[in-house]
Structures are given as structure tokens and as C-alpha cells.
């Protein structure tokens, strides 16, 4: 029987301009839902992994619509709680070529930001789980959310559950008086699997990679071995450090890969050329969802798990919205080298 995963965080209403229009050009916004930990949960559900997403939603029509959307993707919502006045919102303007995308947050006083420790019975919520996932976004939105996340990690540690984290530094969110460097290490210390990129390592943990230039279109994975070793030395519980490698040639063309350090070997994934990006938001979450699936499924084969994660997130760049709505078969097809995009019939 496949193992159960639980994720915890904030899901938001996403309001995006159509196509590549700017905010000042459009009179319409397309509404969907999305958020780091929910995106991971949806990926896992599409791979057939039992998964619950835990959050706090306002008890109104928008909150209920959000819950039904998650259920429609096969995500369990039985452990979420109700309360607060509003669902957080983010506005997205999708860039193209030399113009980058823009995100504007409207999430102050959201239901999750006003959560309190003790509102969620974590022992009950995690009792059947084998894996718990959180991201650096949750503790960035408020001290209360950080405290609730800490409570969840401590409970998972007590229950012997694997804990994973995407460091996910968002500079525009850390505005309640404490920095990522002050808060995050207290949570990372209870984490077994750590995902990040070059900015996360520096801004969250104060560990800076050397000789890396992400603007040149190529990122060398070997530069991160020393960073991975430093993370493991500082956080002894950590068993694997994974780094996503994105080369930003333009807003429409990225290179995409990753490396995984398991304490002995640095594994490298193939590099994909993503030349016509449809939607890159949620790409890192798609990587995390693929990684969790691979680590749970491929019987200790870190190389294959890493390759699955990179291929899954590569496919996410072709799908509109936060959620990576692909199957295991589609990911494994790409892993085997079939990137033709031919019609399946």
C-alpha cells in the first residue's frame, strides 16, 4: 500500500491576467487556486499517493469553493479547519521574453495568517501519515503560522514521520518583524529532506554558493556540493539536500535540472531546455511533489527519484495554473527521452 503524505500551509485565490497582458492592459482576471503546499498535495494525488492538505479556510463561499477544488483533484481535506474572515489572494502578471512575471500579494489577515497553536490536533492529523511536508512560505506570513508549523514538525518528529521542507524564500512576505534567518533554522532542525535553490541557501540559512551565475543560462550542479555538506553539518537530522537548478535565459526560455546530495554521492539529473514556458508558477512545487513520489516509490534509488522530480516539474511548465496535473506515465515517458509531444491516440 502506498504511503500517506500530509502537507500544511496556505492556499490562495490566484487572479491572473489573460495570456501575457499587463495589469494595466486587462479588464479580466482568471481565477484559480494555488499555494506551495497545496500544489505539492495535488501533484501527489495525481500520482495516486494518498495525501491530505491541512490549512485554515474562511467559512464562506470562496473557502468552500477552494475545498471542493482540492477534493476534485483527489486531495483529502478532512483535517482542515474553518475560521477567519478571508482567503489570501495573489495577482499574477505573466511575463514573456525579456519581461519577467510579477506577483502582487493580498494576504494580510488571511485565515491561515491568524491561525493559533493548538487549533489543529496534530497527533490526530498525522496519525496515519508517513510523510509531512512544509515550506518556508508558511512561517513567513505570520508568527502564528510559524508557531503552528513548528508545532506540526515537533509532532511529526515525535511520531517518527519523515519531514520535508522547501526553503522557498519570499522576501516580500517576511514583514512581521522577524527575518527568515531568525525563524527558519528553528524549523529546519526537525527536517529530514531539504529542498532549495541558490537564493534559499543564502537568504534562509546564510550559506552562500560560490562561482554561480544563474543569469548566463547554465548552472553548474557541482557548485552545490559544499553547500549541501554545510547544511548537513548544521542540521544533523537532514539526510538529503536537493537543489533545483534553473538557468533563466529569458522569461520564456529556461534550462531546468537538479542535484541531490545524500551524504555520500552528488546525483545529477538531466538538463531540460524549456523553450516555450506556458506557466512557471508552481514549478518548484511540482519538483517537490515529484521528489516525494520518487523517494517513496523507487526503493532507495535517489538517481531515479531526482530524475522523476525534474521531469515532472519540466512538464509543469507546459500547464496553466499552479497545479501540476500530470500522471506518472507521462512523467516516466519524458524520463525515457520522449519529448516529442506527439498526439496520443
Look up the CATH number of the domain holding residue 207.
3.40.1190.20
How high is the pLDDT of residue 226?
Answer: 83
pLDDT band for position 211 (cuts 50, 70, 90)? low
Q: Tens digit of pLDDT for each residue in 262-300?
A: 999 999 999 999 999 999 899 999 999 999 999 999 989
Rounded average pLDDT over 23-41: 96
How high is the pLDDT of residue 339?
Answer: 64
Q: Tens digit of pLDDT for each residue in 147-170?
A: 999 999 999 999 999 999 999 998
Residue 214, classed as helix, strand or coil, is helix
- Given a cut of 80, is residue 83 above it in pLDDT? yes
- Given a cut of 60, is residue 217 above it in pLDDT? no
Residue 42, classed as helix, strand or coil, is helix
Phi, then psi, of 53 in degrees rounded to 5:
-110, 125
Residue 341 lies in a domain: no
pTM across the whole model: 0.93
Q: How many angstroms separate the CA atoms of 23 and 25, rounded?
A: 6
Look up cell 490549512; give the residue: 55
How high is the pLDDT of residue 340?
Answer: 54
- Given a cut of 60, is residue 332 above it in pLDDT? yes
- Given a cut of 50, is residue 130 above it in pLDDT? yes
Rounded average pLDDT over 12-31: 95
Of the candidates 182, 143, 186, 144, the one whose C-alpha atom is nearest the C-alpha of residue 165 is: 186
Q: Which residues of 94-129 are buried (b: 16+ CB within 10 A; e: fewer)?
A: bbeeeeebeeebebeebbbbbbeeeebebeebbeeb
Q: Which residues of 184-201 are buried (b: 16+ CB within 10 A; e: fewer)?
A: beebbebbbbbbbbbebb
- Tell the burial category of 211 from Cβ atoms under 10 Å away from its Cβ (0-12, 13-18, 19+): exposed
283, three cell numbers: 514549478
More confident residue, 345 or 179: 179
- Given a cut of 60, is residue 220 above it in pLDDT? no
Domain count, the chain: 1
Of the candidates 272, 248, 239, 278, the one whose C-alpha atom is nearest the C-alpha of residue 258 is: 272
How high is the pLDDT of residue 218?
Answer: 53
Kindly report the average pLDDT of the chain as a whole number: 92
pLDDT band for position 341 (cuts 50, 70, 90)? low
pLDDT band for position 190 (cuts 50, 70, 90)? very high
Q: Tens digit of pLDDT for each residue in 312-324?
A: 999 999 999 999 9
How high is the pLDDT of residue 345?
Answer: 44
Q: Tens digit of pLDDT for each residue in 48-82?
A: 999 999 999 999 999 999 999 999 999 999 999 99
How high is the pLDDT of residue 210?
Answer: 60
| Residue numbers of the domain that contains 238 | 5-335
How high is the pLDDT of residue 343?
Answer: 44
Q: How many angstroms separate the CA atoms of 307 and 302, rounded?
A: 9
Residue 343 lies in a domain: no
More confident residue, 132 or 344: 132
Number of H helices, E strands in the chain: 11, 15
pLDDT band for position 3 (cuts 50, 70, 90)? confident
How high is the pLDDT of residue 261?
Answer: 96
Amino acid at each position: 500500500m502506498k504511503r500517506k503524505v500530509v502537507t500544511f500551509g496556505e492556499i490562495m485565490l490566484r487572479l491572473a491576467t489573460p495570456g501575457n497582458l499587463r495589469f494595466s492592459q486587462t479588464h479580466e482576471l482568471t481565477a484559480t487556486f494555488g499555494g506551495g503546499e497545496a500544489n505539492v498535495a495535488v501533484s501527489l494525488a495525481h500520482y495516486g499517493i494518498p495525501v491530505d492538505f491541512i490549512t485554515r479556510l474562511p467559512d464562506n463561499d470562496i473557502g468552500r469553493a477552494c475545498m471542493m477544488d482540492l477534493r476534485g483533484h483527489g486531495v483529502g481535506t478532512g483535517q482542515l479547519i474553518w475560521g477567519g474572515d478571508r482567503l489570501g489572494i495573489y495577482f499574477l502578471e505573466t511575463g514573456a521574453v525579456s519581461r519577467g512575471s510579477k506577483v502582487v500579494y493580498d494576504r494580510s489577515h488571511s485565515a491561515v495568517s491568524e491561525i493559533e497553536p493548538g487549533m489543529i490536533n496534530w497527533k490526530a492529523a498525522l496519525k496515519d501519515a508517513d510523510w509531512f511536508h512544509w515550506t518556508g512560505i508558511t512561517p513567513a506570513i505570520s508568527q502564528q503560522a510559524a508557531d503552528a508549523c513548528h508545532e506540526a514538525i515537533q509532532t511529526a518528529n515525535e511520531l517518527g514521520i519523515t519531514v520535508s521542507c522547501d526553503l522557498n524564500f519570499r522576501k516580500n512576505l517576511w514583514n512581521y518583524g522577524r527575518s527568515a534567518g531568525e525563524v527558519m533554522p528553528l524549523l529546519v532542525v526537525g527536517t529530514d529532506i531539504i529542498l532549495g535553490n541558490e537564493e534559499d541557501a543564502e537568504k534562509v540559512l546564510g550559506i552562500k554558493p560560490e562561482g554561480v551565475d544563474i543569469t548566463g543560462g547554465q548552472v553548474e550542479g557541482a557548485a552545490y556540493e559544499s553547500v549541501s555538506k554545510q547544511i548537513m553539518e548544521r542540521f544533523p537530522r537532514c539526510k538529503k539536500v536537493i537543489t533545483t537548478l534553473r538557468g533563466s535565459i529569458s522569461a520564456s526560455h529556461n534550462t531546468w535540472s537538479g542535484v541531490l546530495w545524500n551524504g555520500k554521492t552528488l546525483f545529477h539529473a538531466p538538463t531540460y531546455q524549456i523553450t516555450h514556458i506556458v506557466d512557471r508558477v508552481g514549478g518548484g512545487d511540482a519538483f517537490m511533489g515529484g521528489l516525494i513520489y520518487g523517494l517513496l516509490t523507487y526503493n532507495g534509488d535517489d538517481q531515479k527519484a531526482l530524475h522523476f522530480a525534474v521531469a515532472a516539474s519540466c512538464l509543469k511548465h507546459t500547464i496553466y495554473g499552479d497545479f501540476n496535473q500530470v500522471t506518472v506515465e507521462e512523467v516516466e515517458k519524458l524520463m525515457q527521452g520522449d519529448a516529442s509531444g506527439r498526439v496520443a491516440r
